[in-house]
Structure 1
Amino acid sequence: MPPRKKTKGAAQAPSTPTVDEDAMDIDPAPEESNKPAYDILKDPWTDEQETSLFKGIIKWKPAGMHKHFRVIAISEYLRNHGYNPEVHEHTRIPGIWEKLGTLYNLPIIDERENSFDYEDDVEQKFLEFKLPEADFEDLMWNRGKTRASEARSSPPQLNRSPSPQAGRKRKKGDTASKPRASTVDDTDETKTSPARSPQPRISRSGRGGNRSSGRTKVEPSSRQPSKDTTVDEDEEDDGDEEEEEAEEEDGTPSPRASRSSGRGRGGAANKMRFEKFCLCITHLHHAPHRGLLQSHARPYAPDHCKPEISGLKSTVGMAPINKRSNSSALPAGYKEDLSKGPMLRFEDSLPKLPVPTLEETAARYLKSVHPLLTSSEFENTKQAVTDFLKPGSFGPKLQERLLARQADPKNKNWIYEWWNDAAYLAYRDPVVPYVSYFYSHRDDRKRRDPSKRAAALSSAILEFKKQVDAGTLEPEYMKKLPISMESYQWMFNACRVPAKPADHPVKYPAAENKHIIVIRKNQFFKVVYEIDGKQLNTSELEQQFKQVYQKAERVQPVGALTSENRDIWTDAREILLKAHPSNAKTLKEIESSSFVVCLDDASPVTLEERAHQYWHGDGENRWYDKPLQFIVNENGTSGFMGEHSMMDGTPTHRLNDYINNLIFGNKIDFSDPSIRSNLPEPTVVKFHITKEVQQEINRATKDFVELIGAHELRVQAYQGYGKGLIKKFKCSPDAYVQMIIQLAYHKMFGKNRPTYESAATRRFQQGRTETCRSVSDESVAFCNAMADPDADPKTIVDLFRKATNAHIAYIGAASDGKGVDRHLFGLKKLIQPGEEVPALFKDPTYAYSCHWFLSTSQLSSEYFNGYGWSQVVDDGFGIAYMINENSINFNVVSKGMGSERMSFFLNEAAGDIRDLLMPTLEAPKAKL
């Protein structure tokens, strides 16, 4: 119950108790002084630190007579959240006071806090707490009627703790009152990305002007059941939110389940808030306007009322895809087929990949090549395009053929088979390093033991696998539209098999292959993860991994054969099969496994060491044809390696985000120590090696060392700023970083060259990717201006804005299936043998504009400290980047082109663009 305050006229000067500084070391609030004006550019507080500070302020209001003690509590709160004052000196108590002084008028707050006027009657020092009738009149009326009839006031299943009696007056010296609860969830769980699923706001009968209404407001987003699909709130990010590998944007966990224990400012008040919420939910679920809630939503129940499911502490959902849409409010043409399960329910109603008009593609193609060519080269290309478009020429004929293929009901996606074959399965170079990609996981400090780390990862992976196998995984959304989930079928129990002239994928029944393959010292072990219909718990899996460590003996690296050129590996596989009849069974055990866990001898520490370990390793202790390989090192660090042929990065990004969210969020039960006595031990899956097989292994290891040795990898972990500042510049983070890359390349070579960025087309049936051509007239003009020492900064800023806008426009069109490269690829594919190739495809510009000197893509996750792949041409760079809140991570790979120099120029370019845009920021206004 709040104390009664004086009227304004009776306000007195703020009183601050004297402090015996010899008895207690307390930093006093700084006195007023003639300090310079607050400068945002010199503010050392990061967004995460400010967030923790504000949570501490909400919990311990640093005002009034106890403000010094409360600031001590806030300081300890920051320390407990990982901000060591010895390292982050500005988070010490003087720094906290200084920060508060830039945000609030502290003397006025003290004055208001201390100006209480108690009446003589000690019983009247506190007023009885009452809820605002404007918000709760209907509920209190209904409760009154309920009590009169002695009926229960809440659903029987909600098992709430009893609330204290309302209206109880606190006497002087009473210490039984409960502390004020935070209005913001105070948790030590790992911070999640800002993405949240959009939830409908619950209407209220009246808002009024009462401040307490803000305190009793119920946020339904924290009460909804968790789902596997989330939305990125960054609406201004219209560039990078709509493209990338659908999208290699921030990985995002589902909203945290709220706490409903009734603690805080009055248990009765919390009880009434909860009942108000339950009434609203019940009303919404029975209302005819189902669009207010997700069609698959269920009434809320507290976490302690939810059953434990398969070791999970709570239902958890992850999806790094941008947009979420209410399935009951989908645009015309989208339908749910619930017979296919939640995961694939939209699949058949997704639109087909469109075929752009010749005129659209021609105009976009000419625009994309213009900044790359001389005037004479551009005129030649323009003539070739004009000839291709003429009525009666070969161009319109090829377009008719392509439109016919697109309209064929047998083809869900006119480019799907062509692209899978040309880009992946018929590609003959080794999958590592040219096709595979990697994620480097954040360290798990609780599980330095590799057996524990491998067991935790496997438990979490199996939880995700259950949803994929059962089809219950929630679909992902982009631009508020559902996207294709078909590629998930190739995630588990699948493998790429070498063949000539093209490889082929195989998929094994999940119900018949409930095992994983563990590789240790090049030896393969089969670990069955389900016995008598019950999945092994984490302790049981840990025991299995420990047994592998104990049993493993170094053998010849048969897995090295998968690192070879695909034609060579095809021949070597036949030799392996002929060497012994049991080798066929061994191959099947590996290829049919749910996934692979590689227990390596290495102990990588630096980001570059980890990148090398997860990207390729030493060529041994792997089976590179498997789509999922999880690598665990001797020091407990871990990462992921993916084979790219049937899945793009988005599904595996979601998988890796999911498993790390379970582990770091303590959302999976590791507490069960029981180990069944009837568990089978890991089984050695053995290859019989002949002299011919040994020769193939020797050649593979030699070729691997030579190939990887020709590559140079550097990691630029830029710590100057990240997404937080970029958004303050009012820029799309993805377009912004693309300009960093363009400027860095221009600094290194004095010009810009063709650049690839992947754009997702998964909102179409069987959609994969399209090319975003990052170089534009606008980006080249910006880079040239940055190289001109006499250029006006305001002019350069304007050029930068135009360059990012051009990038956003192109990648948006590419995501809508209106890019250049896939359309021209399809037209060229339809030229029959004996037909003359049009001048457009013989023009040197066509080949040059597809020669990706820079191959780039973005993926971001708070659970990764690295991600990358190889360059795609020998004279180019592969640049993978992650945009985090306060940092940008670049993984730079090339084949002797100077990755270290490129890393330097990326750092320099990031600083140059920041310095260019800093003057455009406005200093924040002080808050009262």
Structure 2
Amino acid sequence: MANNGRTSIAETIMLRYPLPSLDATVEGLSQAIACVGDERERVRTRKAAAELLKADGVGRRLQSRLEDLAKNPSLRNWLADIYSNAMWLRDRDWHPRSRNYYASFPPSKFPHTQACRAALVSLAAYEYKLSLDNGTVAQDYQDDLQLPLCMESVYWIFNTNRTPVLGRDSVDRWPGNDYIVAMRNGHAYKIPLRERDGQVVSRGKLKAIFRVIIEQAPADINWLSILTTANRDVWAQARDEVITASTSNAAYVSAIEKSLFAVCLDDGSPLTPKERFATFVLDDNRNRWLDKTMTFIIATNAETSLLCEHSKIDGTALYGLGRTISSAIDKHIETSESPYPVALASDDYVYLPACVPSRLSPLVDDLRAQHLSAVSGWALHSYTHKGYGVRYVRRKRLPPKSIFQVVIQAAVRRHFGYSPNSMDVISQRHFQGGRVDALNATTAEMIAFCDAAWDPQVDIKERGRLFSAAVRSHARLGSLLLWGRGWWRHTTWLKEVALESGEEVPALFTDPIYLRTKGPQKVYTTFMDAGVSEVGQCWSEREVLFMIVRVLDSSVDFNIINGNGRGEEFIEHLKEAAKLIEDIMETMA
């Protein structure tokens, strides 16, 4: 097991991840496509879905395979490999900033140097990792429901790397390697976090090591890391060439992959959310090893970010670590004590020389151009709605997340002129080995409300009725997914089992309407609280609105990432929609 067999008391009573019935999934799919395509297309899709239910058909055989896994008592997390393979590891066309997500930490009340912050964050993360190892880590809970969350995915944060493999990648762990890798302009340094006597390295010594690296790292750029932006099959072949080119190259790649985590020491002094996003996400990838599950990025002015690879962890896996890091940053006062001797610090880290094999130089040039093109034009926009939050909504006896999803959908209608598919991500970490699922917020009831919301010919009473129906439809779907009864992921698992077993892939999985429900979506929303400031990623489609929403007592924070320059325009639509929904709620008892 990923957690070395340690299980919290809360986890011993957690439910196993449920397997929905095939009939329920087909029914859920049929309802979900009610507003997608035309009736002729929907008839064809429903027919393909019904084929799954045939008594001797491939759908029943695939469901039977899933049932065998779900009932196997020796598999605590029966869904883990199916989920990772289907959602992430089979993906070959790598979009560098859509499969890695970032989170920035709140600024400190006290000034820190770059070296001080790097040492502070590294040791705080290491202490959190040690608490995982010895079983003393604080249990994570889902804030709004106070459900204990499964800690298994948290163990994949450290000493973990996504390894490129032709056809389907793997995720590998190397526990026991208690060192980190610092990167500066693509140059890498191996830094042990244990002294020779087994003691954890002091903050002063680690700060001195980072200071030496910042001051003495070569000024030229090592572009090896740009290879991690490539198509996964291309990178798999290139990686083999890199590590066979020289023993130093092999040591460089191995050290990064097996390390606890990477620490990227970047130039730049971002101050605002938009500037932090530009510095930490829209960089040229000289200093990012995208396969690494967790990377800290420290700017010149000590602003700090996380960049995480998604295959084994989701945003909720960072709850505890995020709060630990944020607390360390907020409380630490950098003193002017005598610095640790640089000469002594230089003995306790290793420079890892490496270079791009000459045959790969044209590929590196192509990838650099492709990457810069892919990240250009994206921006993060922050908006805090201060009119009302959880407290006001609950006084109206309404579900806060559903209310603000309706606000978003009303704004989306103004923005696009229609109601596109919208993915709303729901955490399922309260199950053993649970990850996330997603619902399409664009239900028939939601569309009906959005049709009327901005129509002055529809009176406020009718809009209120449609509003209530939209809220109920979202809350109902959210509840179904919360307890593992969604159709979207279930169909994904069925397809993965077919690919794994060599079974015939059902016709449903190539149906145009079905594929439209799977993406790409125009809108992505996640409601979360992870002890960080901004969170997000940017997709390959520039018109996408990617939103992280934090609903607070009297306000709501929105982080909106968009690639076609319309983020500020959407914020204006959000303001209008929030006022409209407030007016409607005011008419309700």
TM-score by length of 2: 0.89
Alignment match, 2:212: 547
Give per-residue Cα distances to partners, 1:472-528, cap 9 Å, x unaligned.
Answer: 213334556543221122111221222211221221232xx2222112233222222
Distance 1:672 1:503, change over 3 A: farther
Aligned partners of 2:120 and 2:203 also within 8 Å: yes
Cross-structure match for 2:159: 493
Q: CA deviation at 1:403?
A: 2.0
1:817-871 deviation per Cα after TM superposition (whole angstroms, max 9, x unaligned): 110112222333444799766554454321222222322212235x533111123
What is the distance in 2 between the residues matched to 1:647 and 1:360?
28
Q: What amino acid does structure 2 have at the position aligned with 1:870?
A: C
Choose from 98, 101, 105 the match for 1:434.
98
Match of residue 473, structure 1, among 137, 153, 170: 137
CA distance in 2, matches of 1:551, 1:573: 28
Structure 2 runs not aligned, ≥5 long? none
2 CA distance for matches of 1:584 and 1:917? 62
Report the structure, 1 or 2, having the larger helix content.
2
| 1:533 paired to 2:533 | no
AA of the residue aligned to 2:545: F
Distance 2:188 2:4 in 1: 39
Q: How does 1:331-370 map to 2 (within 5 A)?
A: 340-341=5-6, 343-345=7-9, 347=11, 350-370=14-34
Q: CA deviation at 1:613?
A: 2.1
Q: Which amino acid aligns with 1:697?
A: V
Q: Is the 8 A contact 1:540 1:674 kept in 2?
A: no
Letter of the structure 2 residue corresponding to residue 492 of structure 1: F
User: Equivalences for 1:361-760 in 2 at 5 Å?
Assistant: 361-386=25-50, 388-389=52-53, 391=55, 394-409=58-73, 411-430=75-94, 432-477=96-141, 482-510=148-176, 513-531=177-195, 532-555=197-220, 556-664=222-330, 666=331, 673=337, 678-679=344-345, 680-709=347-376, 711-721=377-387, 722-760=389-427
- The match for 1:267 is none
Amino acid at match of 1:731: L
- What amino acid is the match of 1:436? N
Query: For residue 575 of structure 2, what is the amino acid of its counterpart?
Result: N
- If each structure's strand is expressed as a fraction of its own residues, which one has the higher value? 2
Identify which of 786, 806, 821 aligns with 2:473.
806
- Cα shift readout 1:768-802 (whole Å, capped 9, x = no counterpart): 12222212122112111212112222332332232
Q: How big is the shift at 1:608? A: 1.5
Cα distance between partner residues in 1 of 2:194 and 2:357: 34
The structure-2 alpha-carbon separation of the partners of 1:703 and 1:798, relative to structure 1 and needing over 3 Å to count, comes to same
- Per the alignment, do residues 692 and 344 of structure 1 end up closer, same or farther by CA in structure 2, a change over 3 Å counting? farther
**Does residue 815 in structure 1 map to residue 479 in structure 2?**
no
Residue 866 of structure 1: which of 524, 534, 537 is its match?
Answer: 534
**Larger Rg computed on CA atoms:** 1
For residue 426 of structure 1, what is the amino acid of its counterpart?
Answer: R
Contact 2:208–2:340 (CA under 8 A) maintained in structure 1: no
Deviation at 1:413, TM superposition (A): 4.0
Change in CA separation of 1:557 and 1:903 when aligned onto 2, cut-off 3 Å: farther
* In structure 2, distance between residues paired with 1:654 and 1:485: 10
Q: Answer whether contact 2:161 2:291 (CA < 8 A) is retained.
A: yes
Q: 1:541 to 1:705 in 2, by over 3 A?
A: same
The aligned counterpart of 2:570 is 902
Q: 1:687 to 1:732 in 2, by over 3 A?
A: same
Query: Partners in 2 of 1:829 and 1:372 — Cα distance?
Result: 24
Aligned residue type for 1:853:
K
Output the amino acid matched with 1:803. Answer: A
Which runs of structure 2 are paired with 1:82-231 in the superposition (5 Å)?
none
Question: SS of 2:534's equivalent?
Answer: strand
Alpha-carbon contact 1:439-1:864 (below 8 Å) kept: yes
Alpha-carbon offset, residue 661 of structure 1: 1.9
Residue pair 1:494, 1:593 contacting (<8 A) in 2 also? yes
> Which is bigger in relative contact order (C-alpha 8 A, separation at least 6)?
2
Alpha carbons of 1:414 and 1:837: their partners in 2 closer, same or farther (altered >3 Å)? same
Superposed CA deviations along residues 271-298 of structure 1, whole A, max 9, x for unmatched, are xxxxxxxxxxxxxxxxxxxxxxxxxxxx
Cα pair 1:717 1:887 within 8 Å, conserved: no
Partner of 2:558: 890
Q: CA deviation at 1:574?
A: 1.8
Q: Distance in 1 between matches of 2:502 and 2:181?
A: 49
Instruction: Figure out how many residues of one structure are paired with residues of the other and give that number.
Output: 577
Name the CA shift for 1:694/1:752 in 2 (closer, same or farther; >3 Å).
same
- What CA distance in whole angstroms lies between the structure 1 residues aligned with 2:199 and 2:509? 59
**Separation in 2, partners of 1:361, 1:794:** 35
Contact 2:378 2:538 (8 Å CA) reproduced: no
| Cα distance in structure 1, aligned partners of 2:522 and 2:16 | 31
- How far has the Cα of 1:660 moved from its partner? 0.8
Distance 1:430 1:392 in 2: 38
Question: CA 1:642–1:431 in 2, change beyond 3 Å: closer, same or farther?
Answer: farther
8 Å CA contact 2:194, 2:201 repeated in 1: yes
| Alignment RMSD | 3.0
Distance in 2 separating the partners of 1:835 and 1:536? 53
Per-residue CA deviations over 1:592-643 (Å, capped at 9, x if unaligned) read 2222221111122332121122224221112121111111112222211111
Q: Is the 8 A contact 1:372 1:753 kept in 2?
A: no
Q: What TM-score, normalized by structure 1, do the two folds share?
A: 0.58
